[in-house]
């Protein structure tokens, strides 16, 4: 198989891209202001409601072939990690509004050339449920942000009904053998256990000499046993959190981190992240394992640090894993601007956490 090479000219920004990015920042800041005014506290503009805040290790697999032994994964070894699982919306809603999920990973002790402005020895991977980002470009991102902005002031019951409609349409599509819609799943995700989800970068990143999308796949037997678990949101509006905390109280979790290498510029576009890269052309292949031992997954000091202080951003990256494409170029600016807003409004200094020892027990 031929693996395409990374070069700076594989990206082709839209002529009005910066204008679109500025619009995303303005619109999402207004959404955050609406939430802050309502709730009295500024929260993340996406993935606001955490479900588990845990630490563990990332173990790079030995004997990787040359195309996978790249960047962070060039040599076998172990790294400390912090992982934050969260619900998708930029507001803390009851779990009956079940939308997409997030898994943010911070890898510590990472050496090598970093992106400008990133001076900590870390590498962040910001992942979400679903293999694609519904808005494939910065222009699409702006359009999507505007639609979400219109829903923020609405009552929670309306958001729950909208999520239910999206979820049920996808159920019907699945029942007749059609492919579920990633866009509908973004707004209405099944009531599944957060530790049985698969999480994806959705957008491409540089992978040393190559390019890849990244995925995290649950592999522990105890996780796989949760495949049929379903939350009853009428019984527990914080049920995803309680399920994750209960799991970590008595079980270890394990995810395989896998890379889907870029092999075809036509079927695997860099600049349209709404296009799913076909796995029959390039499969997700394991490069490392994330081991999260049993622990207290929601202690108050740790949760405050994860939710209020620590930052996870695509821009916290090695040059060897530079985010690629218009959506990622937008995210690098949007995450920075919205984090600055949140920390300024709350009077809490942000931390580009450099070591796992900085994280409370």
pLDDT at 149: 83
Q: Mean pLDDT, the chain, as a whole number?
A: 95
| pLDDT tens column, 192-228 | 999 999 999 999 999 999 999 999 999 999 999 999 9
Three-class SS of residue 9?
Answer: helix
- Mean pLDDT over 78-91 rounds to 97
SS3 308: helix
State pLDDT tens for residues 345-359: 999 999 889 999 999
Instruction: For 155-192, write each residue's pLDDT tens digit.
Output: 988 888 988 898 989 888 888 888 888 888 888 899 99
pLDDT at 204: 98
The pLDDT value given to residue 160: 87
* Beta carbons of 67 and 54 less than 8 angstroms apart: no
Residue 178's pLDDT is 81
pLDDT, position 283: 97
Q: How buried is 331 (Cβ within 10 angstroms: 0-12 exposed, 13-18 middle, 19+ buried)?
A: buried
Is the model's pLDDT at 147 over the cut of 90?
Answer: no
- Is residue 253 within a helix (H) or strand (E), and if so which, with residue range? strand 253-261
pLDDT in tens, 125-142: 999 999 999 889 999 999
Going by pLDDT thresholds of 50, 70 and 90, the confidence category of residue 361 is confident
User: Would you state the pLDDT for residue 171?
Assistant: 86
Task: Give the contacts of 226 (CB within 8 A, at least 6 positions apart).
Answer: 193, 195, 196, 247
Distance of alpha carbon 178 from alpha carbon 169, whole angstroms: 11
Tell me the domains of the chain and their CATH numbers.
16-348 (2.40.180.10)
Q: Please name which of 301, 262, 296 lies closest in space to residue 278, comparing C-alpha atoms.
A: 262
Torsion sign over Cα 206, 207, 208, 211 = negative
On whether the CB atoms of residues 252 and 294 are closer than 8 A, the answer is yes
d(CA 150, CA 185): 19
Q: How far apart are the first and last CA of the chain?
A: 46
pLDDT at 58: 98
Q: Is residue 101 within 8 Å of residue 218, measured between CB atoms?
A: no
Q: How many CB atoms lie within 10 A of CB 49?
A: 22
Q: What pLDDT, on the 0 to 100 scale, is given for residue 234? A: 86
Tokens of 359: 């994280």
Q: Is the pTM of this model over 0.85?
A: yes
Asked whether the CA dihedral 81, 311, 271, 12 is positive or negative, the reply is negative
Alpha-carbon distance of 226 to 179, in angstroms, equals: 23
- pLDDT, position 94: 94
């Amino acid at each position: 198989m031929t693996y395409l090479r990374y070069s700076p000219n594989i990206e082709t920004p839209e002529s009005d891209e910066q204008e679109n990015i500025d619009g995303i920042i303005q619109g999402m800041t207004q959404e955050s202001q609406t939430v802050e005014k309502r709730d009295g506290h500024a929260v993340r503009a996406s993935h606001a409601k955490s479900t588990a805040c845990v630490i563990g290790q990332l173990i790079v697999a030995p004997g990787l072939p040359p195309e996978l032994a790249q960047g962070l994964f060039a040599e076998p070894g172990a790294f400390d990690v912090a992982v934050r699982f969260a619900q998708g919306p930029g507001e803390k809603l009851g779990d009956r509004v079940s939308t997409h999920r997030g898994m943010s990973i911070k890898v510590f002790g990472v050496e090598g050339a970093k992106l400008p402005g990133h001076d900590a020895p870390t590498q962040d991977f910001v992942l979400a449920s679903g293999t694609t980002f519904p808005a494939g470009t910065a222009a699409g991102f702006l359009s999507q942000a505007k639609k979400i902005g219109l829903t923020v002031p609405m009552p929670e019951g309306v958001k729950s009904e909208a999520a239910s409609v999206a979820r049920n349409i996808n159920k019907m599509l699945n029942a007749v053998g059609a492919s579920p819609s990633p866009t509908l799943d973004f707004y209405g995700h099944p009531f599944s256990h957060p530790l049985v989800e698969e999480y994806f970068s959705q957008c491409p990143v540089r992978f040393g000499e190559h390019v890849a999308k990244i995925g995290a796949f649950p592999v522990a037997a105890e996780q796989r046993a949760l495949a049929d678990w379903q939350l009853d949101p009428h019984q527990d509006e914080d049920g995803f959190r309680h399920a994750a905390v209960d799991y970590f109280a008595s079980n270890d979790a394990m995810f395989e981190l896998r890379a889907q290498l870029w092999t075809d510029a036509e079927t695997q576009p860099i600049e349209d992240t709404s296009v799913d890269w076909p796995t029959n052309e390039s499969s997700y292949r394991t490069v490392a394992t994330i081991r999260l031992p049993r622990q207290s997954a929601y202690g108050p000091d740790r949760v405050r640090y994860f939710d209020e202080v620590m930052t996870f951003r695509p821009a916290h990256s090695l040059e060897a894993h530079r985010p690629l494409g218009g959506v990622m170029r937008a995210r690098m600016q949007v995450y920075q601007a919205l984090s600055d807003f949140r920390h300024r409004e709350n009077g809490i200094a942000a931390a580009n956490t450099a070591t796992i020892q900085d994280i409370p027990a």
